Copies of this chain bind each other. A is one copy, B any other.
Amino acid sequence: MAQAPGDIEALIALMARLPGLGPRSARRAVLHMLKKRAVVMDPLAQALAKVAATARDCTVCGNISDHDLCPICADPRRATGSVCVVEDVSDLWAMERAGGFKGRYHVLGGTLSALDSVGPDSLRIPQLVHRVEEEGVTEVILALNATVEGQTTAHYIAEALAPSGVEVSALAQGVPMGGELDYLDDGTIAAALAARRRL
């Protein structure tokens, strides 16, 4: 027989599918919840039910939101004419944590990939071109990952936006904060050298 009632085993199986949790840690997490029902399990169940009921994609930028417009698209102070293009919602959150960007975002939902047959239409690139035309966007900042797929996608977007005449830029590549040259890969050092700046 199973160790726990069926509902609890079902909950453990669902928790075990989350990234970073496996069968053993999911069992431990559920047991912890069951021991602290009032202070851990009930608030978590309520918070999860609330998010599951309200979460949706922002209709403009693709960010996760609890309204049709995410807080960033709904904030008139962020209508700066700058749109930052990111691959994923997690990248948007990382940009916001870093601070410094005052404009709005556009979440692609991935990168172009011939192997996985991901084309421009499944990446919200037409919506980006449309936004640039309709919203009076003056600058598009490509904040895509420094991977082959990310850079390929960046080039495709730059070409797709060329007819609109909008300014297109990309995040600088170079030595990361705290980076020691001895431990950096050759590509990073070469990119930092090519993009060196006068002091």
Contact = CB atoms under 8 A, between A and B. Distances in A.
Contacts of A20: 20-21, 25, 28-29
A64 B34 contact: yes
Nearest to A38: B52
A165 B51 CA distance: 56
A47 to B, nearest CB: 4
A15 B25 CA distance: 13
A104 B97 CA distance: 53
Given A11-B47, A52-B42, A55-B41, A64 B4 contact: yes
Contacts of A97: 3
B55 A89 contact: no
Interface string A1-43: 1111101101100110111110001011111111101001111
Contacts of A17: 40
Contacts of A1: 71, 96
A108 interface: no
A60 to B, nearest CB: 15
A92 interface: yes
B21 A43 contact: no
A43 B49 CA distance: 10
B8 A55 contact: yes
Interface of A: 1-5, 7-8, 10-11, 14-15, 17-21, 25, 27-35, 37, 40-45, 47-52, 54-55, 64-66, 70-71, 89-90, 92-93, 96-97
